[in-house]
Amino acid sequence: MTARNTGDDQHQDGRATLEQLVRWRRDVRRFRTDPVPDDLVERLLRLADLAPSVGNSQPWRIVNVRSRDVRSAIVRNFEAVRGKSAEVYAGEQAELYYRLKLAGFDAAPVHLAVFCDRNALQGHGLGRQTMPETLDHSCACMVTVLWLAAREAGLGLGWVSIIDPAEVSKALDVPPDWKLVGYLLIGWPEEEHLDPELQRHGWQPRTPFEARYSVAGSVPPAVETKAAAKADSVSGSVVLVGAGPGDPELLTIKALKALQSADAVLFDDLVAKPILDFVRPGARMIDVGKRGYRKSCKQPDINAMMVSLAREGLKVVRLKSGDPLIFGRAGEEIEACRDAGVPISVIPGVTSAQGAAASLKVSLTNRDHARRLQFITAHDRRGHLPSDIDWSAVADGAATTVIYMPKRTLAELTEVALVHGLDPKTPTIAVANATRPDERVFVSTVGAIATELEAAHPDGPVLVMVGEALRYATVRDAAEQAEAVLAALQVLPGQP
């Protein structure tokens, strides 16, 4: 069973699509030391052994290098060859060469040496009389299949080529007719990226597809000047679109038009699924959700993907829950596009504070109780409570404070706010899944809201609103809401 759109989204059963595997295939040089089960390694190798080969020759020969002594010899060989290779570079490029991590010998738990048997009898020589190098090509096909299979299993693969083939063959004592194709390192990646490491560290950016494609009789494929000109041109664009807090009817007309004309949509995990139904059929759907405190897509990868897709000439929509400019990391994405010369625009959306206030029918800026409305985030880049919050502003009884992303640090935040003078009986409302069918409202006080929210443990995005203006909030069941407010504030009917 597959998802609605073809592209980088996952299958509905959780498996990655082919396009996703290709985009995440990246050469890995930073591994965790966790072992890879032998049965998993064997399964991957058996899958790779099904790779196509010219004349069904299957010329690859794979040696699993488990001996520590042999590994050490190969590492010494790598270091020696790497030093000689550096001699061809000068200046800044030489310095960068030495800074690059070009191998992962120290941590990768699986080492495989791949050879091509130049005298393979399998296939009876079909296709080799005119192009004997097809044996090497067939081995490369096998490695690619292994690469994709490893990625599908969550593993990373590094292909080491800075190595002396003769020394590796000698260390492994293989037949003289075996030619080294590559030394492969496999393991659990320490980190995952969508862009090539050499591009990320400034060695060489990827060039556009057009630099490697031509039609017979037109532009020769090897004209580097024209390819370079193509590399500097950008025919696509990026637009940051606010999806609102969840109710699809809160989308702006401009946002709707952008979704219906998009070639690719990079959407956050918090974007309500009904909103995705408005995307043009056939557009690439790419889930880049940054899931709090869980393994997720990193911001530099999202930036790189936006730029890459735009350089393919696509209309790219970066779809964000709420408003892109309110705690949505829009600044980093705008800067990445500007630095790459990619045209970028922003379509604002209804932020979750506005959606929640509308559901509660409360004015966050009630002039009798609030002279200021302030939005704060409850966690920093590390997921901790920010150390630079202006606590005097939070404790101001004449302000309405909306706290974004508070689940993990709300208890700490409210405790510090109370220490700085915030009245513990200040009306406080938490809203989970604002404007959505499963919206949940928790009416309390600032002194008790953290405990109540922890006990309820609501799913989905949550925000917390604090301030006297909230005393007049209403929800769908007015009677139930009134009782909750009275109970939370310990006020009896008839009292002023």
Residues known to be catalytic? 268, 290, 405
Angle at 427 between CA 424 and CA 433, to 5 degrees: 120
Residue count of the chain = 496
Q: Among 461, 401, 453, which residue's Cα sits nearest to residue 432?
A: 461
How many Cα atoms are found within 13 Å in the side-chain-facing hemisphere of 54? 19
Q: In the sheet that 60-64 helps form, which strands lie side by side, from edge to edge?
A: 60-64, 110-117, 178-187, 156-160
State phi, psi for 382 to the nearest 5 degrees.
-90, -5
Cβ distance 120 to 135 under 8 Å?
yes
DSSP string spanning 100-139? S----TTT-SEEEEEEEETT--TTTTTTTTT-TTHHHHHH
Count of CB atoms situated within 10 Å of the CB of 263: 19
Q: Among 445, 466, 463, which residue's Cα sits nearest to residue 399?
A: 466
Beta carbons within 8 Å of 452's beta carbon, 6+ residues apart = 430, 442, 444
**Token match 């009292």: residue?**
495
State phi, psi for 32 to the nearest 5 degrees.
-80, 160
Rg (CA), the chain: 29
Cβ distance 372 to 395 under 8 Å?
no
Alpha-carbon dihedral of residues 158, 163, 164, 166, nearest 10 degrees? Answer: -20
Cβ distance 324 to 345 under 8 Å?
no
